[in-house]
């Protein structure tokens, strides 16, 4: 599932724009970096973490960078555990609604008109209560996810800017939103600097990598996704599968 950090991404664009403006928008390479590659040498793109030429365009998936960082994995996993009791509560509410519906479907014709009407009314009330509880839980989860993401991005932004200055980059394009919702139709993996930024940020933050269960592995460039607050068993009115921070 994908979490769309819309506000995070807007903040990152603003942060990068301000940083480059403060440095005069210079595209000159940092001292000691090689000159721009010749036409003959550009047939095979260099790895994203290698020193690129002047004004090189690269991409970064800010969302994945936040989630894949040690800090992001740690904090989102902590949030998942924090939300588990609420998920259990929602599941119990949903199970109760489903049980009443089953009771109505299997034995409703044996009930008196008044008893059947009371059961229908009870189902409707509990269904509405469940839907409100799911929405409230989702809003709360979104707010907490957004808070974590914003906090990490505020510290990751300067790391991205420094990396760009050190490598003499000319432009960084965010690929968190895939085409057609995002600006990038296609980009070669060799121009993606997400992993390089995550590795650099992990060193600077000092947060150790979270312990992994035996036999498990995390794919580079991806991280632990925050859990939803919807019940495990879907209610009659199914909410979106995954919450996303408010715009």
User: 36 in a domain, yes or no?
Assistant: no
Specify the higher pLDDT residue, 107 or 16.
Answer: 107
pTM to 2 decimals?
Answer: 0.64
| Inter-CA distances, 239 with 51, 55, 129, 176, 245, Å | 46, 45, 14, 23, 15
Cβ neighbours around 35 below 10 Å, total: 9
Specify the higher pLDDT residue, 52 or 237.
Answer: 52
Q: What band does 209 get if pLDDT is binned at 50, 70 and 90? A: very high
The answer on pLDDT for 12 being more than 70 is no
User: 31 in a domain, yes or no?
Assistant: no
User: 240 in a domain, yes or no?
Assistant: no
User: 237 in a domain, yes or no?
Assistant: no
List pLDDT tens digits, range 25-83. 433 333 333 333 333 333 344 445 544 456 899 999 999 999 999 999 999 999 999 99
In sequence order, which residues have a C-beta less than 8 Å from that of residue 119 and are 6 or more positions away?
100, 103, 104, 108, 111
Instruction: From 17, 144, 4, select the one nearest 62 (Cα to Cα).
Output: 4
**Tokens standing for residue 6:** 């819309």
User: 220 in a domain, yes or no?
Assistant: no
Can you give the C-alpha Rg of the chain in angstroms?
Answer: 24
| Inter-CA distances, 81 with 25, 73, 102, 150, 191, Å | 44, 12, 32, 20, 36
Domain around 93: 6-25+52-205
| Inter-CA distances, 58 with 36, 45, 68, 202, Å | 15, 11, 19, 20
List pLDDT tens digits, range 133-186. 999 999 999 999 999 999 999 999 999 999 999 999 999 999 999 999 999 999
- Which three-class secondary structure state does DSSP give residue 60? strand
**Tokens standing for residue 131:** 């839907």
Q: In total, how many domains does the chain have?
A: 1
Of the chain, the percentage scoring pLDDT greater than 70 comes to 64
In sequence order, which residues have a C-beta less than 8 Å from that of residue 182 and are 6 or more positions away?
174, 175, 176
- As a whole number of angstroms, the longest Cα–Cα distance in the chain is 88
169-174/56-60 β-pairing: parallel
User: 89 in a domain, yes or no?
Assistant: yes
Of the chain, the percentage scoring pLDDT greater than 90 comes to 56
* pLDDT for position 7: 37
* pLDDT for position 106: 87
| Inter-CA distances, 87 with 207, 227, 229, 242, Å | 28, 9, 6, 13
> Which residues in 92-245 belong to E strands, given as ranges?
169-174
* pLDDT for position 55: 82
List pLDDT tens digits, range 177-195. 999 999 999 999 999 999 9
- Annotate 5-20 with DSSP letters as a single string: -HHHHHHHHHHHHHHH
């Amino acid at each position: 599932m994908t979490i769309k950090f819309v506000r995070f991404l807007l903040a990152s664009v603003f942060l990068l724009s301000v940083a480059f403006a403060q440095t005069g928008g210079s595209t000159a390479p940092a001292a000691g970096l090689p000159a721009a590659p010749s036409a003959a040498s550009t047939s095979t793109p260099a790895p994203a973490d290698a020193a690129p030429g002047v004004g090189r365009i690269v991409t970064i998936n800010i969302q994945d960078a936040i989630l894949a960082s040690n800090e992001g994995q740690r904090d989102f996993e902590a949030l998942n555990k924090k939300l588990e009791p609420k998920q259990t509560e929602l599941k119990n509410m949903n199970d109760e609604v489903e049980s009443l519906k089953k009771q109505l479907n299997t034995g409703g014709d044996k009930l008196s008109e008044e008893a059947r009407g009371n059961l229908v009314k009870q189902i409707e009330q509990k269904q509405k209560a469940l839907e409100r509880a799911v929405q409230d839980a989702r809003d709360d989860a979104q707010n907490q996810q957004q808070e974590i993401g914003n906090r990490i991005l505020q510290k990751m932004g300067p790391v991205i800017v420094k990396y760009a200055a050190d490598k003499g980059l000319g432009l960084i394009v965010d690929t968190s939103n895939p085409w057609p919702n995002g600006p990038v139709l296609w980009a070669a993996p060799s121009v993606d600097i997400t992993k390089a930024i995550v590795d650099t940020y992990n060193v600077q933050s000092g947060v150790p990598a979270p312990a992994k269960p035996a036999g498990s592995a995390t794919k580079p460039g991806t991280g632990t996704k925050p859990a939803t607050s919807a019940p495990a068993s879907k209610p009659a009115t199914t909410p979106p599968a995954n919450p996303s921070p408010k715009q």
